[in-house]
Structure 1
Amino acid sequence: MLKKKILKALTNQINEEMYSGYLYLSMESYFHSISLAGFASWMRVQAQEELHHGMRLYDFVNERGGRVFLDTINRPDAKWENPLAVFEQVMAHEEKVTALINELMDLAGSEQDHATKIFLQWFVSEQVEEEASVGDVLNKLRLIQNDSSGLFMLDAELAKRVFIPPAKE
């Protein structure tokens, strides 16, 4: 059975992951509106990953005998200056999520909830991958600057990303 503090924190993280999915869907729509289908596709995959993360947490809470009470999901931003501004926001958002996961790990440790701590280890590793992936795109966008040829090449590269749900451990 989950302790109340852990249950509350996990429920909050579910909300954060669902918000992340909303944010990335909003960014997908922005990229469609400026005819960058590859960027849009990348964001769709990112949204799917975040929603999957939320469901992974949701299932864990249920497995541990907790009850999830879903909260309101905030409206995400919908306007950006350019693709670089979008990915700068993505990086800031992923860094925030990393901090939240780290706080969850600390809480699980202080509450001596070893099962939750082991479960969260997957999310710690996932956040390392998330930040590296976003950082790679961000660095390329900074190199490209205002070169439309480079932007279209990156768009084609980003279109190749596909969502593959991680295997259940």
Structure 2
Amino acid sequence: MMDRHLKELLNDQFNKELYSAYLYMDFADYYHARGLHGFGNWYDVQVQEERDHAMLIRAWMLKRGETIELLPIAKPDKTITGNADPLHFALAHEQYVTGLIHTLHAAAEAAGDADTAAFLNWFVNEQVEEEENATTMITHYDRAVAADSLELLDITLKHRRWKAPSLTVNVY
């Protein structure tokens, strides 16, 4: 049986990952509505990744004989006033999620749950990639605006495709 506090944190993270998907869907819709479909595509892929993260946590919980409590998912609360805003909001959000993952990992170690700590190592590494991607998007955006080539960057971003996560959790 999983430590109660760790189980609560994992359940909370599951729901936070779904919130992340909502947030990125809001960003995607913002860009699509402005004809920046490459940027919209970038965040559409992010939506899929966040959903996958939630499903990995769910699968882990099921594998461990636990269940997920489905909680209400809050509406994104960011007010977007310009094209750069979602990029900066995304970086801040990923930094927040990194803190959550580190807290989860520490809780797994404190509970003596080496299996869950090992499972969470994938998420620790994933967050390094997520923060790097968010930072790179800001850099590319700033360079594109400075060079008056935002349309070219938008076209490039249309080519991003979703890939299933490299971590799999077999439940059945």
Q: TM-score, normalised by structure 1?
A: 0.94
Distance in structure 2 (CA, Å) of the matches to 1:47 and 1:163? 9
Equivalent residue, structure 2, for 1:161: 160
Within 5 A, what are the aligned runs for 1:23-34? Answer: 23-34=23-34
Distance in structure 1 (CA, Å) of the matches to 2:141 and 2:22? 23
Residue-pair matches, total: 168
Note the C-alpha offset of 1:140.
Answer: 1.5
Equivalent residue, structure 1, for 2:109: 109
Equivalent residue, structure 1, for 2:77: 77
Q: TM-score, normalised by structure 2?
A: 0.93
8 A contact 1:26–1:78 mirrored in 2: no
Note the C-alpha offset of 1:146.
Answer: 5.8
Distance in structure 2 (CA, Å) of the matches to 1:162 and 1:141? 19
8 A contact 1:10–1:57 mirrored in 2: yes
- Runs of 4 or more, structure 1, over 6 Å off, are none
Distance in structure 2 (CA, Å) of the matches to 1:157 and 1:21? 22
Distance in structure 1 (CA, Å) of the matches to 2:157 and 2:28? 12
Within 5 A, what are the aligned runs for 1:16-165? Answer: 16-77=16-77, 79-145=79-145, 149-165=148-164
Q: Which moved more, 1:158-167 or 1:76-85?
A: 76-85
Note the C-alpha offset of 1:144.
Answer: 3.1
Percent of counterpart pairs with the same letter? 34
CA RMSD of aligned residues (A): 1.4
Note the C-alpha offset of 1:78.
Answer: 6.0
Give the aligned residue type for 1:106: A
5+ long unaligned stretches in structure 2: none
Distance in structure 1 (CA, Å) of the matches to 2:151 and 2:79? 21
Q: Which moved more, 1:134-143 or 1:41-50?
A: 134-143
Note the C-alpha offset of 1:95.
Answer: 0.3
Q: Please give the per-residue CA displacement for 1:104-129, whole angstroms capped at 9, x wherever unaligned.
A: 01111111110100000000010111
Q: Please give the per-residue CA displacement for 1:41-84, whole angstroms capped at 9, x wherever unaligned.
A: 00000000000000000110111011211111000136412221
1:2 and 2:5 matched:
no
